[in-house]
Amino acid sequence: MDIDFQALPTPCYVVDERLLEKNLQVLAGVQERTGCKILLALKSFSMYSLFPLVAKYLHGITASSLFEARLGAEEMGKEVHIYSPAYIEEDFEDILKYSDHIVFNSFDQWNHFKARVQRVKGRRIQCGIRINPEYSEIKVPIYDPCYAHSRLGTTLSHFRPEELDGIDGLHFHTMCEQGADTLARTVKVVDEKFGPYIAKMKWLNMGGGHHITRPDYDLDALVEAILFMKNKYHIDIYLEPGEAVALNTGYLVAQVLDIMDNGMPIAILDASAACHMPDVLEMPYRPNIIGAGQPGEYPYTCRLGGATCLAGDIIGDYSFPQPLKKGDRLIFCDMAHYTMVKNNTFNGLNLPSIAAFNEKDGLRVMKKFGYEDFKSRL
Ligand SMILES: Cc1ncc(COP(=O)(O)O)c(C=O)c1O
Render pLDDT for 184-221 as a digit per residue (tens, 0 to 9): 999 999 999 999 999 999 999 999 999 999 999 999 99
Tell me the C-alpha to C-alpha distance, in Å, between residue 48 and each of 40, 43, 75, 210, 373: 11, 12, 6, 22, 18
Q: Which of 62, 63, 96, 83 is nearest to 129 (CA)?
A: 83
Q: Is the CB of 179 under 6 A from ligand 1?
A: no
Mutational pocket test of ligand 1: of 37, 40, 43, the residue with most ligand atoms within 8 Å of the beta carbon: 43
Model pLDDT, residue 55: 98
Could you tell me the CA-to-CA distances from 143 to 178, 209, 254, 282 in Å, in that order? 12, 10, 28, 10
Please name the amino acid found at residue 150: S
- List C-alpha distances in Å: 61 to 297, 354, 376: 42, 21, 28
For a pLDDT cut of 90, what percent of the chain falls above it?
99
Average pLDDT, the chain: 98
Task: Say yes or no to pLDDT of 92 above 80.
Answer: yes
CA atoms of 77 and 352, how far apart (whole Å): 27
Query: Which three-class secondary structure state does DSSP give residue 326?
Result: coil
Q: How many angstroms separate the CA atoms of 81 and 125, rounded? A: 10
242 Cα–ligand 1 center, Å? 6
Write down the pTM of the prediction.
0.98
Region 26-34: mean pLDDT is 98
Atom of ligand 1 nearest to the CA of 242: 9
Q: In the predicted model, what is the mean pLDDT of residues 276-284?
A: 95
Q: Is 176 in the pocket of ligand 1 (CB under 6 A)?
A: yes
pLDDT at 339: 98
Q: Give the mean model confidence (pLDDT) for residues 257-283.
A: 97
How high is the pLDDT of residue 95? Answer: 98
Residue 226: which of 18, 1, 29 has the closest Cα?
A: 29
Q: How many residues does the chain have?
A: 378
How far, in Å, from the CA of 65 to the mean position of ligand 1?
Answer: 13
CB contact set of 230 (below 8 Å; sequence gap of 6+): 34, 35, 36, 236, 237
- 243 in contact with ligand 1, CB cutoff 6 A: yes
pLDDT at 335: 98
Bridge pairing between strands 300-306 and 362-367: unpaired
Q: Does 48 score more than 80 pLDDT?
A: yes
Average pLDDT score over residue span 23-46: 98
Average pLDDT over residues 137-144: 93
Report the C-alpha gap between 96 and 100 in whole angstroms.
8
Q: Which of 163, 182, 162 is nearest to 172 (CA)?
A: 182
Residue 66, pLDDT score: 98
Nearest CA, atom 15, ligand 1 = 208
Rounded Cα distance, 46 and 40, in Å: 9
Q: Is residue 14 pLDDT above 90, yes or no?
A: yes
Q: What is the pLDDT of residue 1?
A: 75
The mean pLDDT value for 98-114 works out to: 98
**Is the pLDDT assigned to residue 24 strictly greater than 80?**
yes
CA distance 180 to 319: 34
Query: Residue 311 — very low, low, confident or very high, per pLDDT cuts 50/70/90?
Result: very high
Query: For residue 176, which atom of ligand 1 is closest to its CA?
Result: 10
Tens digit of each residue's pLDDT (9 = 90 or more) over 333-347: 999 999 999 999 999
